[in-house]
Chains A and B, each alone.
Chain A
């Protein structure tokens, strides 16, 4: 079974802090994704990566950056956290190919105070 592990289940940070969310997958997937999920808005793509050191902006990249130094690890960085970034953050990974599903981690519920 594919395992996507997010480093924290719950996280509380303060406005202005730099926040790191970590995601690791153990199935040698090329593609990794970061989403946020908010009530009524569904899952929205922040950033994704097709390969090590590659990154592409998703639909809502403002205020975020990412790092993929190793194939199995994809980090989401909130450069200067703001209250409107309070959300559930979900990481996913997949193999390449149109029919390949994305496999999700359990999510990190981030609160910015």
Chain B
């Protein structure tokens, strides 16, 4: 089975940086996804990590440590539109994702 732990909620100011941590325990590991979900909308793909290290994609970066069962999503230069839930989803062998409960990020002016 898989256990995924991420904070329930975080608040930050526009222009700031926020780091969303995710720890996981999984039987078999085939990479880790991060998704963004605005209220009332579908989750949308942000990033995928399978090797240790940092993947940067514009204002968003994602980090993975396989040995520690740890990932984080880094949001830089926060904008109001970044207010959303962020879902950590490790992938087990095969094509099956397991989602964490999500971290709700509130960006304040």
Q: Are B41 and A106 in contact (CB under 8 A)?
A: yes
Smallest Cβ distance from B80 to chain A, in angstroms?
22
Q: Are B30 and A104 in contact (CB under 8 A)?
A: no
Please give, as numbers and ranges, the residues of chain A lying within 8 Å of B97 by CB-CB distance: 45, 102
Q: Are B99 and A43 in contact (CB under 8 A)?
A: yes
A41 lies within 8 A of chain B by Cβ: yes
Of B11-19, B42-50, B62-70, B71-79, the one touching chain A: B42-50
Q: Are A98 and B91 in contact (CB under 8 A)?
A: yes
Report the bound CA distance from A100 to B48 in whole Å. Answer: 9
Q: Please, what's the 1-or-0 string for A80-108, where 1 marks a CB less than 8 Å from any CB in chain B?
A: 00000000001000101011111111110
A58 lies within 8 A of chain B by Cβ: yes
Smallest Cβ distance from B30 to chain A, in angstroms?
5
Number of chain B residues close to chain A: CB under 8 A: 21
Q: Are B31 and A99 in contact (CB under 8 A)?
A: yes
Q: Are A104 and B99 in contact (CB under 8 A)?
A: no
Smallest Cβ distance from B5 to chain A, in angstroms?
11
Smallest Cβ distance from A67 to chain B, in angstroms?
19
Q: Are A45 and B98 in contact (CB under 8 A)?
A: yes
A75 lies within 8 A of chain B by Cβ: no
Q: Are A50 and B95 in contact (CB under 8 A)?
A: yes
Smallest Cβ distance from A79 to chain B, in angstroms?
23
Smallest Cβ distance from B26 to chain A, in angstroms?
13
Taking a contact as CB atoms closer than 8 A, the residue among B31, B41, B95, B102 that contacts A42 in the complex is: B102
Q: Which residue of B lies closest to A96 (CB)?
A: B95
Smallest Cβ distance from B21 to chain A, in angstroms?
16
Please give, as numbers and ranges, the residues of chain B lying within 8 Å of A58 by CB-CB distance: 96
The 9 closest A-B pairs by CB, nearest first: A101-B45, A104-B42, A43-B99, A42-B101, A98-B30, A42-B99, A104-B43, A106-B42, A99-B48
8 new A-B contacts at CB < 8 Å, known A4-B42, A101-B48, A102-B97: A41-B101, A42-B99, A42-B100, A48-B95, A50-B95, A99-B48, A101-B45, A102-B33
